[in-house]
Amino acid sequence: MNSGNSVTPGALPVQPSKYNWLFKYKLYHIPFWFVYHYLWWSLTIGSAWMALHNAFFSPYAIKNCFYVIFQAIGVYFNLYFLMPRFLEKGYYVRYIGLLILTILCTAALIVPGYYVSAWVAGDTMQNLYQADPGQYVRFFKINTFPSTVASTTLAMSIKLTKNWIQAKRKEQLLEKEKLETELKFLRSQFNPHFLFNTINSIFVLIHKNPSMASESLAKFSDLLRYQLYECNEQQIPLSQELTYLENFIELQKLRQDHNHVEMTLDISQHPAGDLAIAPFVLIPFIENAFKHVSQRKDQANWIRMDLRFDHHSLHLDITNSISAQYQSRELIHHGGIGLKNVQRRLDLIYPGKHDLKIQRDSDQFRVTLQLQLSRISTPEPVSIEV
């Protein structure tokens, strides 16, 4: 009987943390300020134990509360009012002026804490602070102003560092989302030129070699199935990607003039089938070679590809001849996601685990890629208790 509440088998109910309120209302800032001022006082008087006693168990505790309360107010006024309204909007002169005014007012409001602590303790300023009551400016210049500047600087440093980290993460996330969008676009459609030429080549083969036409049509069907349905994960089995590459190469051969283009393709036996690879990482390099190989009739035109494996490392070396007048920019910006976008994908998916080199000489274009592959992650079995 269904009670209306669906529970995923094997999943534990998420319990709200009893400390959520501590972070929701930022109450953890309170002990931070007490610890900060305790450390400041410890460095000032040179004794951690004496600073602890003076800060919490002596008449100085009242003065310490003035530091904690007013500096916290000044810091948060800067972080949550001045910075968003002036600094982040580019009003730098106005912001600096208001920040200096905030620091001066905060430091000035802390000084009365010295007098209040002496009054509550029933003692004199001379006994407690070795200073006359008329030395207000002395407390401001030597004590409250430097301390307020230090606390404001520390808080701004933490805030700006946090904002910078968040901005970098957002930038990386947007970059990743952009690349994933481009990858989905690549999956969703073929290069029309390749599509029409492949169909036309198969159509011609129907009359010349029906057996080869049937085999080519099967490879073309596998190519479509893989691109549309079988590569929707971030990591797929290496064997699937290699099968896709082999089918792609065989279909590309149908479009090439074998009298003018010499193809040397060497794909070594790949390792065990438990290795994974990101889909469509290798295909742009191979597509680039077939698309931009030279078509000269007076000289040799060639494509050479070597794909081999060393334990978990993949090594791809692909070279193609190019015409002398070929524009280098066309080698970088072409079809699909392009070589530059593939390089960005490699930087995001395989940081520190790949080595890509792209070289262009007067008569050839070469790509070498070394990729450290990972194993296929298998989900852990879920035990269901009844």
The confidence band for 386, taking pLDDT boundaries of 50, 70 and 90, is very low
The confidence band for 3, taking pLDDT boundaries of 50, 70 and 90, is very low
What's the token pair of residue 262? 């010499």
The number of beta carbons lying within 10 Å of the beta carbon of residue 128 is 17
Query: Of 215-219, 235-239, 334-338, 368-372, where does the model show the most confidence?
Result: 368-372
Report the distance separating Cα 279 and Cα 183, nearest Å: 9
State which amino acid sits at residue 137. V
pLDDT for residue 356: 92
Query: Of 5-9, 126-130, 268-272, where does the model show the most confidence?
Result: 126-130
Radius of gyration of the chain (CA): 35
Residue 113, pLDDT > 80, answer yes
Asked if 41 contacts 51 with a C-beta cutoff of 8 angstroms, the reply is: yes
CA dihedral 176→185→277→217, nearest 10 degrees, is 180
pLDDT for residue 29: 67
Report the distance separating Cα 279 and Cα 145, nearest Å: 60
Report CA-CA distances (Å) from 187 to 66, 176, 349.
64, 16, 18
pLDDT for residue 319: 93
Region 148-167: what's the mean pLDDT? Answer: 89
180-194: per-residue pLDDT in tens? 776 666 555 555 656
Which residue ranges form the domains of the chain, and what is each CATH number? 21-174 (no CATH), 189-375 (3.30.565.10)
Region 317-334: what's the mean pLDDT? Answer: 65
Edge-to-edge order in the sheet of strand 275-277: 236-237, 275-277, 374-375
pLDDT for residue 258: 55
pLDDT for residue 7: 41
What's the token pair of residue 277? 């690879």
Report the distance separating Cα 214 and Cα 104, nearest Å: 85
Half-sphere exposure of 217 (CA within 13 A, CB side): 12
Angle among Cα 141, 145, 149 to the nearest 5 degrees reads 145
If one compares 270 and 84, the residue with the highest pLDDT of the two is 84
The confidence band for 14, taking pLDDT boundaries of 50, 70 and 90, is very low
What's the token pair of residue 272? 């065990």
Region 246-274: what's the mean pLDDT? Answer: 74
Region 113-141: what's the mean pLDDT? Answer: 82
Residue 198, pLDDT > 50, answer yes
pLDDT for residue 182: 65
What's the token pair of residue 105? 């007012």
Q: Give DSSP secondary structure letters for 319-357.
A: EEE--TT--HHHHHS-STTHHHHHHHHHHHHSTTSEEEE
Q: Give DSSP secondary structure letters for 16-59.
A: PPTTHHHHHTTTTHHHHHHHHHHHHHHHHHT-HHHHHHHHHSST
Report the distance separating Cα 154 and Cα 340, nearest Å: 41
pLDDT for residue 11: 41
The confidence band for 259, taking pLDDT boundaries of 50, 70 and 90, is low
pLDDT for residue 317: 94
Mean pLDDT of the chain: 77
pTM of the complete model beyond 0.85: no
Question: Between helices 192-208 and 210-225, what is the axis angle to 10°?
Answer: 150
Report CA-CA distances (Å) from 214 to 42, 205, 209, 226.
85, 9, 9, 18
Report CA-CA distances (Å) from 220 to 23, 151, 281, 291.
56, 67, 20, 18
Residue 368, pLDDT > 90, answer yes
Q: Which residues contact 27 (CB under 8 A, 6 or more apart)?
A: 21
DSSP state letter for 271 = -
Instruction: Lowest mean pLDDT of 49-58, 179-188, 252-261, 268-277, name the range.
Output: 179-188
Region 35-50: what's the mean pLDDT? Answer: 70
